[in-house]
A = this chain, B = another copy of it.
Amino acid sequence: MNEKQQEILNAAEKLFEEKGFDGTSVRDIAKEANVNLAMISYYFGSKDKLLETLFETRLDNFRINYELIFDKDFTAFESLEKLVHVYVKTMNQNAGVYKILSVEGGIKKRLINSDSFTKIKKFNLELVSKVLQKGINAGVFNKTVSPVLLHSTMMGTFMNFQMNRSFLQNVLAITSDEAYNQYIENQLANHIHRTIKALLIYED
């Protein structure tokens, strides 16, 4: 994958995130990437295949690093804390592609390379299950929490910050994008961690 191809992919990522796949023309992408219009077909075949290739090249970024979470010396609580922070950081670093995936994945006619992404999603969901199991085996977590629901709370809370950026920046009085990212990786990650931890040790 040469430099020009990467520029095209970066331009596509930026514009797809900002304006959506259907709201972005290949001419927009060509202009943003400073390449001739025909280069996109030349390298990627079509606009659809460009989206496909974009996902493929970014796919591995979404696999959560197992070792960071399951260090042998970690308690269940430490694994949980790591899980949440690694998860939020990983997703936030790939927020652009994740937002595109989230939006375009919900569109029926788009038959996104869903196999590979489903595989990764299930792998990541498995991590949540493993952390849960670790705490249950250690006798410190409540048994009855569904990993799917737990994962939805983690991912959903995070994604809410991606989908409502301007509203939340306003409400939280955050002016710069860097500050917003900092808020996500610190306060938001802490909130998610506290929330899930509370749920797991909560008995009613």
Chain A interface (Cβ < 8 Å from any Cβ of B): 18-23, 99, 102-103, 105-109, 118, 121-122, 125, 146, 148-149, 152-153, 155-161, 163-165, 167-168, 170-172, 187-188, 191-192, 194-199, 201-202, 204
Contact = CB atoms under 8 A, between A and B. Distances in A.
Which 10 pairs across A and B sit closest by C-beta, in order of nearness? A156-B160, A198-B202, A156-B156, A22-B22, A198-B198, A156-B157, A22-B23, A152-B160, A149-B191, A198-B199
Main secondary structure of the interface of A (DSSP, over half): helix
Given A19-B108, A103-B103, A159-B163, 17 more contacts: A99-B106, A102-B164, A103-B163, A106-B164, A118-B170, A148-B172, A152-B161, A152-B168, A153-B153, A153-B192, A156-B156, A157-B157, A195-B195, A195-B199, A197-B204, A198-B198, A198-B199
Interface centre among A121, A163, A170 (most CB of B within 10 A): A163
A49 to B, nearest CB: 18
A122 B171 CA distance: 9
Given A160-B159, A171-B148, A194 B188 contact: no
Contact of A199 (B18, B156, B163, B194): B194
